[in-house]
């Protein structure tokens, strides 16, 4: 029997400005070995879902479980098992050089110097930026900074990788490196990947399931099943409202 890494059941959250977001309908469950994409228009609850998975928000109602704990209360128990790549990587990169930034987590968690060096070199090599190890992050291109952030996300060899628009604005070679990182987490680590994307076409071949959100779960299944309902796998953000209503 497969083991659930994530389980979210009818989460309701109220922001300080009184905006309410409900993510109900089918339960959101991610098992070991799965690569799952979350699709939906702006305001559908994608970011709210991610923030709950990372313990940045606590639900007003409902349940959120990651590796069997509630992230908002016990994220320290699972922090080394979760890698994160946010959409705005400039908010994620906090150190002056590439090596400093990618090594931040293992250094913070008390790994010895030799372990840190080995972990950083492995992560840099996996995303193809070993040659940038001593470069100043501020002077890198947008695509290079995204790779630095990805290296930081995988440096601890996480069992769960959470990615927000991971291939936005990157070239074909960079997309391949991102896909290789996802395969490593799922195949070699026995973990899972959850990503948010507005472009299913860019990642469709690398997915096991698609979850469509619009305040509730409208669809949960493999990409071919979505295509069988007349939804193009090459959809873009501006097309989302046109076919979301058909999934009701």
Predicted confidence at residue 237, as pLDDT, reads 47
- Quick check: 238 pLDDT over 60? no
Pairing of strands 28-31, 4-14: antiparallel
- Quick check: 104 pLDDT over 90? yes
Q: What is the CATH number of the domain that holds 86?
A: 3.40.50.300
pLDDT average, residue stretch 6-24: 86
Predicted confidence at residue 224, as pLDDT, reads 79
Q: How far apart are CA 92 and CA 233, in angstroms?
A: 30
Tell me the pLDDT tens digit for each residue of 41-54. Answer: 777 788 888 899 99
Task: Read off the pTM.
Answer: 0.85
Tell me the pLDDT tens digit for each residue of 184-235. Answer: 788 778 889 998 876 666 566 667 888 887 767 778 888 878 777 766 556 5
Query: At 165, is the pLDDT very low, low, confident or very high (cuts 50, 70, 90)?
Result: confident
Domain that holds residue 127: 4-247
Domain count, the chain: 1
Taking all residues of the chain, what is their mean pLDDT, rounded to a whole number?
Answer: 84
Question: By C-alpha distance, which of 28, 75, 35 is closest to 163?
Answer: 35
Query: At 111, is the pLDDT very low, low, confident or very high (cuts 50, 70, 90)?
Result: very high
Question: By C-alpha distance, which of 176, 208, 215, 205 is closest to 194?
Answer: 208
Q: Which residue has the higher pLDDT, 153 or 26?
A: 153
- Quick check: 176 pLDDT over 90? no
């Amino acid at each position: 029997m497969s083991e659930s890494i994530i389980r979210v059941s009818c989460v309701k959250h109220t922001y300080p400005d009184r905006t309410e977001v409900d993510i109900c309908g089918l339960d959101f469950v991610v098992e070991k070995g799965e690569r799952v994409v979350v699709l939906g228009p702006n305001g559908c609850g994608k970011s709210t879902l991610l923030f709950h998975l990372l313990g940045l928000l606590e639900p007003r109602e409902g349940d959120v479980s990651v590796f069997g704990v509630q992230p908002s209360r016990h994220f320290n128990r699972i922090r080394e098992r979760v890698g994160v790549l946010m959409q705005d990587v400039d908010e994620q990169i906090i150190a002056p050089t590439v090596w400093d930034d990618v090594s931040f987590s293992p250094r913070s968690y008390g790994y010895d110097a030799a372990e840190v060096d080995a972990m950083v070199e492995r992560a840099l090599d996996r995303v193809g930026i070993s040659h940038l190890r001593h470069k100043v992050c501020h002077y890198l291109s947008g695509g290079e900074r995204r790779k630095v952030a990805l290296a930081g996300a995988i440096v601890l060899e996480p069992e769960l990788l959470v990615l927000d628009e991971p291939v936005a604005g990157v070239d074909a070679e960079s997309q391949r490196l991102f896909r290789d990182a996802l395969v490593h987490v799922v195949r070699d680590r026995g973990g899972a990947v959850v990503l948010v994307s507005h472009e299913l076409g860019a990642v469709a071949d690398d997915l096991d399931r698609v979850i469509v959100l619009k305040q509730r779960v409208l669809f949960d299944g493999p990409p071919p099943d979505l295509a069988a309902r007349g939804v193009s796998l090459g959809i873009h953000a501006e097309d989302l409202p046109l076919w979301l209503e058909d999934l009701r």
